Amino acid sequence: MIRKAVLPVAGWGTRFLPATKAMPKEMFPIIDKPVIQFIVEELLEAGIENIIFITGRHKRPIEHHFDINTDLEKHLEEAGKDKVLENIKEISHMINPIYLRQKEQLGLGHAVLTAEPAVGNEPFLVSLGDIILEKGSEVVRGMVETFERFGKSVIALHEVDGREVSKYGIAKVKRIEDGIYIVEDLIEKPSPEEAPSNLAIVGRYVFTPKIFDMLRRTKPGKGGEIQLTDAMRLLLDEEVIYAYKVQTRVYDTGNPVDYLKTVFEFALRREDIRDELVPYLQEVISKQTQLIDRP
């Protein structure tokens, strides 16, 4: 049984500096909902309620977001803003989270290892705090079912453009059935020529607790960080790792361009925004050259 999910949210978010100097990128809004709330909702819809955040010193807003804010509730009540009040209360009671501090940002692998005292000796899920999946709860359920069938770790993969493989961790796989594979190898940011496939690691993982031993054995890699992919490669020598193909849209919010694309896509889906936004965008695009040329 998978009961617990680990959400590593302690990273520096350097690609977004200076915005992330005091503000976690996981709290950036997709219109009016922070990225991290999408991920928590995905887990809850998939039936996973024990959520362990791995946080850092500038990540307090995440704790405040899922906490009760009596002053705000009182204000909204007095102002008669019942609908928004209901929403605020719902978020406050969404989860009973555990927050663990990653004292030094020594990489994603190190963040996962920090969760060990709260996870213990049981399989668990890891969901990255900056990746939103369309129909994410279906993906999580599919991964959990795959774990229940095979009893081994399961990582989510998604197809990326062959020319873009060098941005991702890429898996060499053997197909078992539609959408399910056995992982044979993992290669971090390969060139298009050396990539064994166009299936990229996508930020959702189910791990057996054996990953903790592997993380302890993992030597610091690029940038002195303990890389999760390196620990998964060690795990491959000890256990089979399965892969689950994500067939829905993946929204990366961890860099400015992809974050903006995500915001626009979500905005275009909202009726209350779309009617004003579409003509505005059309106008902006038609004037694009003038804007670019403007000093």
Q: Contact positions toward ligand UTP, by CB under 6 A?
A: 8-15, 54, 102, 105-108, 110-111, 128-130, 254
Nearer to ligand UTP, 69 or 255 (CB): 255
Nearer to ligand UTP, 75 or 167 (CB): 167
Nearer to ligand UTP, 181 or 212 (CB): 212
Query: In angstroms, how far is CA 172 from the centroid of its own chain?
Result: 22
Q: Beta-carbon neighbour count of residue 260 at 10 Å?
A: 11
Find the residue with minimal CB distance to ligand UTP.
11
Nearer to ligand UTP, 11 or 85 (CB): 11
CB of 166 to ligand UTP, least distance (A): 15
Query: In angstroms, how far is CA 292 from the centroid of its own chain?
Result: 33
**Residue 128 identity:** L
CB of 288 to ligand UTP, least distance (A): 28
78 sits in which H/E element: helix 70-78
CB of 194 to ligand UTP, least distance (A): 22
CB of 96 to ligand UTP, least distance (A): 21
CB of 171 to ligand UTP, least distance (A): 18
- The dihedral built from the CA positions of residue 109, 114, 120 and 126, taken in this order, carries a sign that is negative
Nearer to ligand UTP, 51 or 54 (CB): 54
Q: What is the largest CA-CA distance in the chain?
A: 63
Q: Beta-carbon neighbour count of residue 175 at 10 Å?
A: 11
- Contact of 30 with 270, CB cutoff 8 Å: no
Q: How many residues appear in the chain?
A: 295
